[in-house]
Amino acid sequence: MKQRLLRNIITVMLVAIWATFAASAQGSQSTYDGSQADTVCIYKTWESVIYGEPDAMIINPFIFANTPYDVVITDDNEQVRELLSDNVIAVTLGDSIWLINSQYLKDNFKGDSKKFDNFVPFYFNEKVAFVVFLGYEASTGKQILGGLMGDAEMFDTDPFTDDPYYYYIDFELKRVDKVDRKVLSDLLNDYHDLKMRYEGMKDYKKREVIDDYFMQYIDRVTQDPTKPDILELTAPVTGIE
């Protein structure tokens, strides 16, 4: 099924990211010196992202992976550092690893965009985009708060072994939201049959059910000719100037 294929693609992407940096399970910072992929392609507009046409390339930058979901990309050159920080939507490492700039998300989207740091992995096609993310181990205070709020990600999590969460990038509402049962139910409002099937599930609150129906939502939107493309939704502001 297509949603299973998409989930497999995401898994392969995350494995590739972490294999590239070969970080330890204890979370110590690893350093990547350009020996495996000495060129980072950068994308300053959604046009360049969608069409896979980089606006520029950086040779031998410094790359530090704190986790598979928190990748620092920097350079000795101050202008390059500013470019990466403030003027880039996304980058690619090698041929297939896509990372989105967390600063771009914080500057342009509300919601959960503040959770991310540096560059984080994301998936996209012409119609939809979402971040794949799992945060660091929570502090004691956050664990207590998470218990009160019902946010599992505020409990102890291990970004090296635990499954990540999906964060939907809503270009119409200018929000980034973790896909929980409420967010998913709202997304499925456009597809009554899929919404009824999801909400009719006995285990509709379980993480694996939510993830599965989100993948089905992605598949449905991708094939829906009535849904606007990302480029249509970002047309007034095509990128960061």
Where is pLDDT greater, at 237 or 120?
Answer: 120
Is residue 220 situated within a structural domain?
Answer: no
pLDDT of residue 76: 87
Between 9-13, 133-137, 155-159, the lowest mean confidence (pLDDT) is in: 9-13
- Residue 51 inside a domain? The answer is yes
Q: Which residues constitute the domain of residue 121? A: 2-179
Beta strands 110-111; 97-101: pairing state? unpaired
**pTM score:** 0.80
Residue 232: inside a domain: no
pLDDT of 23 higher than 50: no
Q: pLDDT above 70 covers what percent of the chain?
A: 73
- Is residue 174 a contact partner of residue 110, using CB atoms and an 8 Å limit? yes
What's the pLDDT score for residue 16?
54
> Does any domain span residue 201?
no
Q: Is 63 helix (H, G, I), strand (E, B) or coil?
A: strand
Per-residue pLDDT, 195 = 97
Cβ(217)–Cβ(187) under 8 Å?
Answer: yes
Range 6-32 average pLDDT: 45
pLDDT at residue 11 is higher than 70: no
What is the pLDDT confidence band of residue 18, given thresholds at 50, 70 and 90?
low
What's the pLDDT score for residue 158? 76
- 66 vs 64: CA distance, rounded Å: 6
pLDDT for res 39? 84
Task: Please give the tally of structural domains in the chain.
Answer: 1
β-bridge mates for residue 91, sequence order: 42, 99
Q: Where are the beta strands (DSSP E) in the chain?
A: 30-32, 39-43, 56-59, 62-67, 70-74, 90-93, 97-101, 110-111, 119-124, 129-133, 165-170, 175-178
Mean pLDDT of 37-52: 90
Q: What pLDDT sits at residue 34?
A: 40
In a domain, 202, yes or no: no
> Is residue 21 one of the residues assigned to a domain?
yes
What would the pLDDT profile of 192-234 be if each residue is shown by its tens digit?
A: 999 999 999 999 999 999 999 999 999 999 999 999 999 999 9
Mean pLDDT, all residues of the chain: 81
What is the chain's alpha carbon radius of gyration, rounded to the nearest angstrom?
A: 18
Angle between helix 207-222 and 192-199 (nearest 10): 170
Dist CA 75 CA 60 (whole Å) = 8
User: pLDDT tens digit string along 144-192?
Assistant: 545 555 555 555 577 777 888 999 999 999 999 999 999 999 999 999 9
Q: Is residue 143 part of a domain?
A: yes
